[in-house]
Amino acid sequence: AQTVTQSQPEMSVQEAETVTLSCTYDTSESDYYLFWYKQPPSRQMILVIRQEAYKQQNATENRFSVNFQKAAKSFSLKISDSQLGDAAMYFCAYRSARGAQKLVFGQGTRLTINP
Amino acid sequence: DAGVIQSPRHEVTEMGQEVTLRCKPISGHNSLFWYRQTMMRGLELLIYFNNNVPIDDSGMPEDRFSAKMPNASFSTLKIQPSEPRDSAVYFCASSLRRRGSGELFFGEGSRLTVL
């Protein structure tokens, strides 16, 4: 079974600075997808960014980018120019490209933005 | 477009009572997922459906939990009888099952408190 590990329960960053959230995963599959979801206090789960394992290029979405290291099974999220609205729980998630469509989530990292 | 709609948003009940949580997925989506979120266990998949058919219910805690999807636009998660340890936020999510990232779209969750 696939597992996702986020080793940082909490992180904090000064507003306008850059922060990186870590995620590692374990799988025997070669074709899969990885996601970062954001959960603000409103508790709505919002997709931040996605990465297809077959793509070598790291995904970017405005101030959010990932560092995808397939061999190391690592998938970190970098937030540049942090804003107060970025404060939330961030979840890393894995989905197989074949068979089961379910998302397997990590434990989450609580990100605090200091003004 | 309307997102995933869950009801109720909050439910407080007493131990032993029946609880029914409801979900309306995004129109056109053919996969539906029920997740439970607690501080101790994080986000756990309870069950998911493809084309209204339950595919994997291995995450359903015990016989007190049941889920149905009578049609493509409606699903219920029922707990009978409820217990205090069932207190959690229950999320419904839907996706379009196809080749591609097939991201999950989440509802706002139903917060259940069992006294």
Residue type, A109: T
Whether A12 has a pLDDT exceeding 90, the answer reads yes
Contacts of A107 in chain B (CB under 8 A): 42
**Shortest Cα–Cα distance, B19 to chain A (Å):** 21
> Mean pLDDT score of chain B, rounded to an integer?
93
- Burial of B102 per CB tally in 10 Å (0-12, 13-18, 19+): middle
- How far apart CA A35 and CA A22 sit, in angstroms, is 12
Q: pLDDT tens for residues A54-75?
A: 988 999 999 999 999 999 999 9
Candidates B38, B101, B105, B108: best to mutate against A (most CBs of A within 10 A) is B101
- Sequential DSSP letters for chain A: --EEE---SEEEEETTS-EEE--EEE-S-SSEEEEEEEE-TT---EEEEEEETT--SPPEETTEEEEEETTTTEEEEEE-S--GGG-EEEEEEEEESSS----EE---EEEEEE-
**A54 backbone φψ class: left, alpha, beta (φ>0; ψ -120 to 50):** alpha
Lowest mean pLDDT across A35-39, A76-80, A109-113, B56-60: B56-60
Q: pLDDT tens for residues A83-115?
A: 999 999 999 999 988 877 789 999 999 999 999
Q: pLDDT tens for residues B68-92?
A: 999 999 999 999 999 999 999 999 9
> Mean pLDDT score of chain A, rounded to an integer?
94
Q: What is the pLDDT of residue B61?
A: 86
Task: Place B100 in a pLDDT band, splitting at 50, 70 and 90.
Answer: low
Return phi, psi of residue A86, to 5°: -80, -10
